[in-house]
Amino acid sequence: MAKAPVQTVKQAKKSGAQDNRTPNTRVEYSNPEAVVKFTLHTQEGIRVQSRNFNIISQALFNLTNNSRALERLGAKYSGAIERTLKAVNEVIDMPEKELENNIVILNRAVKEEQERSSLNEVGYTHPKEHEVRIRTPQAMRVIRIIQNFDKLHQIIDTLWLNNCFNQDEVEEFKSRLHNLIRDLAASLKRHAQASADELNQANGRAAEKESAGSTKAEPTLVDQETTVLQDASNEANDDQNEAIKRQA
């Protein structure tokens, strides 16, 4: 007795047969995260936090996920996690060390001024408490960078209000510090996009290799949450307006 021919999925669709396959659904993973609370005092620190932290944190999270996915694709991508971690640490190291060194230098200047004459203590009218969730160890380093950014501005303001710095020196110093954070965010975002592109290409090649065999596989798509950097001109305008207020 002859066996009935087995229909392919494509043939079944043409004949109107019902497709009982389970559609692909996104799986929600339970990721580890820590809640970090801290206070920023200066307007510069508050602004940098609100404009850059989410961008940086998302880039770090994407880099971690992409490097793990690449590592799982086989020997060709062996070491992807280690290479990514090295690149990320190099990007973070520069502003981290720059801020720490400047804090040491300006604290020395404060101490010298205190030895010559007393310095009036400086406070802030509207400090702001922050609560953020981090999912990578590098995000904790970024929080410390922002805290040191805020601390350094407090020292600068103290020296300025006590007539140890003139306005031009203050604005030049603060502009350089803002560039450190902007460059950090932009660099990590570029790294995250590059890793996403590499993963998409790798998944595409894997799909092509499988389709060359008897079974055709559907390519895997990378779900990247992309955040657009804030317009740098807005921040520059805010800084300029603040400088005008100081001079007033």
Write down the domain spans for the chain: 33-199
* pTM of structure: 0.72
Q: Any residues with CB less than 8 A from the CB of 96 and at least 6 apart, and which?
A: 141, 144, 145, 148
Taking residue 19's Cβ as centre, other Cβ atoms within 10 Å add up to: 8
Q: Is the pLDDT of residue 193 over 90?
A: yes
Least confident of 30-34, 124-128, 241-245: 241-245
Report the range of poorest mean pLDDT among 31-45, 141-155, 162-176, 223-237.
223-237
- Which of 148-152, 163-167, 194-198, 231-235 has the largest mean confidence? 148-152
pLDDT of 217 strictly over 60: no
User: Mean pLDDT over residues 200-204, rounded?
Assistant: 83
Listed range (30-44, 88-102, 110-124) with the worst mean pLDDT: 110-124
How far apart CA 62 and CA 88 sit, in angstroms, is: 12
54 or 224: which leads in pLDDT: 54
Query: Please, are residues 28 and 132 in contact by the beta-carbon 8 Å criterion?
Result: no
**Which of 148, 162, 145 has its CA nearest to residue 109?**
162
pLDDT exceeds cutoff 90 at 118 = no
Tell me the pLDDT band of 210, cut-offs 50, 70 and 90: low
* Cα dihedral 179→184→189→195 (10° resolution): 140
pLDDT over threshold 70, residue 122: yes
- pLDDT at res. 23: 62
Give the lowest-confidence range in 78-87, 128-137, 140-149, 203-212: 203-212
